[in-house]
Structure 1
Amino acid sequence: MRILLVEDEVRLSEALVYTLKKNNYIVDAAFDGVTGLEMAETGIYNVIILDRMLPGAEGLDVLKALRKQGITTPVLILTAKDTIKDRVEGLDSGADDYLIKPFSKNELLARIRALGRRQTETIVNEVIKIGNIVFNSLKGEIHMNGKITKLSSKESQIFEILAKNKNRVVAKEQILERIWGFQSDVELNNIEVYLSYLRKKLVLSGCSLVIETIRGSGYCIKEVYSHVSEA
């Protein structure tokens, strides 16, 4: 599970990052609202922990902006504001949970687990119909005419991004950020390796889709049709 922590108190942020990583979570940290929003907009996170009082952009403004864009990532508001009015305001803005400072780390971890389960339940039946195939993003399977082509985890994530942006160019950097995160040292060339494997599997599946490389821009998935020449 990948978590985005948006908290401007450096010591608290460092302590939380340490705790979360110790519990086997992948964590990216932002220290202001503007950066937090930019990172959250990538859609790569399973849970967002968001402080209310942030420099650059207030936490609830960040939350409202995400919900306005249709980003449904579970958000846990972390704040010292503990009145009923504050809680109602946070929940009405689109928060999924609300935790008051100071808090127990065990309670925080329990709430994160609950939010993670909630998200899994919402995507369990997610399938994408594209071209002449059905792609099960949860299982990483391409279904066509009763034949199943299995994709690796990274191939599946790349294919999902491209499939959801059919006929639109997706930049290399966007793929890198969404799959490997902002704080990854993975090189852009690594994407080419996974795309090579993915292209071969698409050909073997017999589907009507191709992934084109748009020089200097990124990649685009398109549907191609075979033409039968007339005699």
Structure 2
Amino acid sequence: MLSPELFSTKQRILGAAEVLFARHGFAGASLRQVTSAAHVNLAAVNYHFGSKENLINEVFRRRLDELNAQRLQALSAARTRSSLTLESVLAAFVRPALALSGDDHGGAAFVRVLARAYAEHNERLRQFLHDHYGHVLRQFASAFGELLPHLDKQELYWRLDIVSGALTYAMADFGVIKRRGVTPEQHRDIAVDHLIKFAAAGLRAE
């Protein structure tokens, strides 16, 4: 088991890397910048991660393991109810992601890192994400397919790609809707409701 000191060092490195990758991209942020921001030496990065590629992967794993566990738990709970609905599956997919974006401990930075993963052509990172989290998307696609039998597989995946894009946009808190007279938590709840309604209508369309 890691000592508290080693655990703290590892988390400092991950936190610094997350912020720098969000700001400069994966290629633009150097290990030297990461070590400087985390107040550690290069040996500490090598000890905990071995390489920059592994550090990038662990930045994602730190957030996505928990996020996708919450998604699958919510999907399982939705399946135990009397009838599975499109809205309940969408809520299981959307709500944990928007909660992550509002996490005060680096959630906003991670959303920008996630956007970098979509924008930058890092094939190794894409393969890592596919290998470790592809099964989660397949479980959701299966649930959506049960509820949308009029869509063939290709059309379903097109629509789910669009829903995922809209979710990423909402997580980044872009857009013209401003927070007026509501707390950040209330704003996220409103965003969840609107996104579910919009996505459900698009998925159901003939």
Work out whether the TM-score is over 0.5. no
Higher relative CO (Cα under 8 Å, sequence separation at least 6) belongs to: 2
Higher helix share: 2
- Report the structure number with the largest CA radius of gyration: 1
TM range (shorter): under 0.3
TM, length-normalised to structure 2? 0.26
Higher strand share: 1
